[in-house]
Amino acid sequence: MSWWGKIWRRGSIPSNEQLLQVRLTMQGWHDEGRRGDMRGWRDDQGDFMSLVVSEALGRARLSDEVALQQFFRGLAESRGGGLIEVRVSTGRLGTTASVIYKRLLKPAYVFTGMLFAPAAELPQVWTVVAEERGTTGVREAVITAELFNSGCLTIEDYKRSWAKDPYDADYHAVDRSALRFVSDDESYDQRFPQHPLSKVRRILAALPSSVDMKPPGLEAST
């Protein structure tokens, strides 16, 4: 097993004090308290965000893009999902790695975003899960029709490249319906701001500047 297969480890179960040191300042999320070894928040749409105090990725070389993509591809695959994107950035939580993957729970897609902050004062893994509600598939249908009508997409293109892993075109270990679609590209987020994928991207981008630390012993609030 490669070292990437050994980096997911939590160590000791965090105390309430550790979890309550973290203050989420992002608007619209309501603290649901501790659930086992994690702390949870929920928004008015019913989507869920969680925090785990974890050393996951603690020994990883975040500059190794290929290894990072392989690790997160395996994580998505183990949950029946397909990889949409992997990113590394630096901010208030130090160097972080994030991943977005999707799963098809017919008739709707569920999008999961995870932010790993191994260099933060308290090593953290944030997870946000958002799902399609109401009429599903609108983003895919609109973009597909536009690309066909403009001549930018043919039947052959659709069969060959509409759905594929963003970093490995030969990857087929999950069903094609779970792979990244052309319509999943970030360039379409502004046109579909309420889409769960757009929402997950916004949250992952905002998280590093939306987390404060409270001194031990002081109660954190949302």
Q: Please state whether the peptide bond connecting residue 107 to the residue before it is cis, i.e. omega within 30 degrees of 0.
A: yes
Q: Domain for residue 166, yes or no?
A: no
Q: Domain for residue 168, yes or no?
A: no
Q: Domain for residue 76, yes or no?
A: yes
Q: Is the pLDDT of residue 98 over 90?
A: yes
pLDDT at 14: 55
Q: What is the CATH number of the domain that holds 95?
A: 3.40.1000
Q: Is the pLDDT of residue 220 over 60?
A: no
Q: Is the pLDDT of residue 19 over 90?
A: no
Per-residue pLDDT band for 4 (boundaries 50, 70, 90) equals very low
pLDDT in tens, 50-91: 999 887 776 667 889 999 999 999 999 999 999 999 999 999
pLDDT in tens, 165-210: 999 999 999 999 999 999 999 999 999 999 999 999 999 999 999 9
Spatial neighbors of 193 by CB under 8 A, at least 6 apart, are: 199
Segment 6-20 mean pLDDT: 57
Q: Is the pLDDT of residue 93 over 60?
A: yes
Q: Domain for residue 88, yes or no?
A: yes
Q: Domain for residue 80, yes or no?
A: yes
The number of distinct structural domains making up the chain is 1
Q: How far apart are CA 10 and CA 12, in angstroms?
A: 6
The string over 176-209, giving b where at least 16 C-beta atoms fall within 10 Å of a residue's C-beta and e elsewhere, is eebbbbbbbeeebbeebeebbbbbbbebbbebbe
Query: What does the mean pLDDT of the chain come to?
Result: 88
Q: Is the pLDDT of residue 24 over 50?
A: yes
pTM: 0.89
Q: Which position has the higher pLDDT, 212 or 147?
A: 147
pLDDT in tens, 140-175: 999 999 999 999 999 999 999 999 999 999 999 999
The token duo for 128 is 């946000």
Q: Domain for residue 21, yes or no?
A: yes
Q: Domain for residue 145, yes or no?
A: no
pLDDT at 60: 67
Q: Domain for residue 186, yes or no?
A: no
Task: Say how many residues make up the chain.
Answer: 222
Domain extent for 37: 3-134+193-211
